[in-house]
Amino acid sequence: MSSQRFAVFDIGSNSTKVLIASVNRDGSFRKITEEGYTCRLFESGNHKFQSIPNSVIKNLENVLEKLFEICINQKVSKIVIVATEAIRRAENKIDLIRTIESRFGYQIRILSGEEEALFISRGIQLDPMIKKSKSFQAFDLGGGSLELIEWNSKSNLRLKSLPLGVLPMVAEFHSEKECALPSCAEDKLKAKIKGEIKQSGLSEDSNLPLVGLGGAVIFLRKILATQTGLGFEKSSVLTLPDIVKLRQQVSQMSLEERIVSFPDLPPDRADVFPVACVIIEEILMNLKKTKLFHSFSNLRYGLLSSCQTNNGLFQVFCQ
């Protein structure tokens, strides 16, 4: 066979997704499909990661079953499964992993924060929009954590995983998600983000392009594309003034008003969207950026690429 079909599963804090691609012998690959379902593993009403309830684990199993069915239909021959912040911080992660591995027969690799950021950086380097850049900074805002990256072509790489995921920040600063985000809570959230980014060690170089990834960035792009009338495909660049304006809007709205005002924003994203907007805005502000480039070349792409370029990693991740 000249190619095989691979699948990379990503069990995230807010959703679980799979990337299926046709991989050639030379290591290049072509995306076939990318599917996912919301499956919130961490309760946004509590900012501490505790045991994941049995009901949530059952829901996760149901989501994985749907994604495995897609893999069967697509005749996938190799499967990689990784988990990130919610599971690496869960008190019952060992039992949870055993349950899932026993049911589906595949090993799950829990990535450290630094590993997650590393594979994200590799994924970003596959994006045609970024591929020719000699250096970039990037962030991936997830439900459980925030990964920050600084890369240049001289092989210098700075990786940082911060406890600034949307769900714990909502639990700490906006637990009453049905209401508007109070200005005092917003100020405290901004101060926390500023302090964490300052300690991350990333340079405040306004000339370095900033790449943004994650579900919150996708929905931010969708809403801004609708507001500007440019359409989604032409809206990969998000400017700071537009982000600030939208953040001001959503912060003053109740959950019901957010859902009504932004049809592109599903209810299970609208509840945490004000906090997500504040985090994204503060990332730009503190890294001295006026815009960000949205990329879809994420963790799953980096994992797939690494499986092909590193035989040791292939043996660890693929079955």
Which stretches within the chain are classed as H helix? Answer: 54-73, 85-89, 93-104, 113-124, 128-131, 166-173, 183-200, 215-228, 240-251, 255-261, 267-270, 273-286, 299-309, 311-317
Question: Is the whole-model pTM more than 0.95?
Answer: no
In this prediction, residue 4 carries a pLDDT of 87
Query: Quick check: 44 and 272 in contact, CB under 8 A?
Result: yes
In this prediction, residue 317 carries a pLDDT of 53
Rounded distance between C-alpha atoms, residue 264 and residue 226, angstroms: 9
At 231-240, the pLDDT tens digits run 999 999 999 9
In this prediction, residue 309 carries a pLDDT of 53
127: three-class secondary structure by DSSP: coil
In this prediction, residue 265 carries a pLDDT of 93
Give all domains of the chain, ordered by start, each with its CATH number.
3-112+300-317 (3.30.420.40), 127-294 (3.30.420.150)
In this prediction, residue 312 carries a pLDDT of 46
Rounded distance between C-alpha atoms, residue 76 and residue 73, angstroms: 8
Residue of 124, 76, 132, 128 whose CA lies nearest to 104? 76
Rounded distance between C-alpha atoms, residue 265 and residue 28, angstroms: 34
In this prediction, residue 310 carries a pLDDT of 52
In this prediction, residue 23 carries a pLDDT of 87
In this prediction, residue 308 carries a pLDDT of 59
In this prediction, residue 130 carries a pLDDT of 87
239: three-class secondary structure by DSSP: strand
Q: How many residues does the chain have?
A: 319
Give the distance from CA 203 to its chain's centroid.
Answer: 22
Rounded distance between C-alpha atoms, residue 278 and residue 112, angstroms: 26
Those residues of the chain that have pLDDT short of 50 are 312-316, 318-319
| Phi/psi of residue 146, nearest 5 degrees | -120, 120
At 234-289, the pLDDT tens digits run 999 999 999 999 999 999 999 999 999 999 899 989 999 999 999 999 999 999 99
